[in-house]
Each structure stands twice: as C-alpha cells, then as structure tokens.
Amino acid sequence: MNLRTASETLSFIRELEEKAAAFYEGLAKRFPEKKSDFLTFANENRKYNKQIQMAYQSVITDAIEGCYAFDLETDDYAFTTDLAESAGLTEAAAKALAIEEKILACYTLGAEQSGSLLADVPRNFKIVVRKRNDRLEKLKSLA
C-alpha cells in the first residue's frame, strides 16, 4: 500500500511503534534481567508517537500541506514480532535490531520526502532517529 498523506503516514508509523512496544513488553516478561531496558524502549516508542502527533497537529503548515508530502510503500517497513519459544536473549536482541532498522528506515525516508513541504513533522522524524541511536547500541551489545 502506498502512503501519500501525512495523516495516513502518521497512522502507519503509530502502528509500527505500538507493535514494537508490545514486542518489547513481551521481551521484558521473558527476560527479567533486562526488564528495565525493554520497558524503557516500549515507553519511548509511545512517547515518540505522541511527539510526532503533536508536531503534526500543532503546526499549521504540517496540517494544511500534508496531503502530498509522502510516497512510502508500507510493504518496505512491514515486520513480524514472532520469536521462537526457545529463543534466547541474543536472538531476541537480533530480532529487535531488525525491527528497529525497519522503523528507522521509515522515519528517515519520510523525513527526506516531506522536508521541503512540512515544517515540524520531518524535523521530529529526525529527532526520533537520533534519539534511537542509544537503543541500537544497547541492542547490539546484547545481540
């Protein structure tokens, strides 16, 4: 499915972040020794959702110029959160890294495409990408 409007792109990103947050909550239950890290990731995902939504709704140009700002294919960013029962922390971290890569790719291309038209949404996409770098390092150390 092709995403063109800011509204549908943000809904799609919200789904990705929520799906990843649920995945991290599952990992927190499965790996109590890393519970704090995984729950932090889940909370951050939901915080990013609020941050992006606020950027979209509070800046006039992001709302009125949003219908032609994107050209993203949802299939490029689809991911599954299935993890084998026998999977250990290493596999879980590798899976999380793969999910993060998809989400980051979506934010990065989205920011690039909408940069000339919108004011705050692409800027906030870039902020989210930057903020996620610490998480990537943590996951890499586990994988």
Partner 1 sequence: MDATIPGLMTSFFGNAGQRCLAGQTLIIVGENDAFYKDFMEKVTDRAKNIVVGYGLDESVQMGPVRDAKKKESILNYIETGIKEGATLRLDGRKAKEIKGGYPDTCFLGPTIMENVERQMRVVRKEIFGPTMGVMRVKTLDEAIEICNESPYHNGHAIFTSNGKCARQFQYDCISGNVGINIGIVAPMAFFPFSGMAGSFLGILHTQGKEAIRFFTESKVCIHRWL
Positions that interact with partner 1 (CB under 8 A): 3-5, 7-8, 11, 60-61, 64-69, 116-117
Q: Which two structure tokens, joined as six digits, stand for 27?
A: 């990992």
Cβ proximity to partner 1: between 24 and 56 the closer is 56
User: Minimum Å distance from CB 98 to partner 1?
Assistant: 27
CB of 104 to partner 1, least distance (A): 23
Closer of 13 and 28 to partner 1 (Cβ): 13
Which two tokens mark 135?
A: 């998480």
- Tokens read off for 39: 């729950």
CB closer to partner 1 out of 11 and 80: 11
CB of 122 to partner 1, least distance (A): 12
Q: How does DSSP assign 67-133, residue by residue? A: GGS--EEGGGG-------TT--HHHHHHHHHHHHHHHHHHHHHHHHHHTTT-SHHHHHHHHHHHHTH
In whole angstroms, the minimum distance from the beta carbon of 82 to partner 1 comes to 28
By C-beta, is 74 or 81 nearer to partner 1? 74
Q: Measured from the CB atom, is 66 or 110 closer to partner 1?
A: 66
**Cα 68 to Cα 7, 89, 112, 115, distances in angstroms:** 10, 42, 13, 12
CA–CA separation, 29 vs 128, rounded Å? Answer: 26
Q: How far is the CB of 52 from partner 1 (least distance, A)?
A: 15
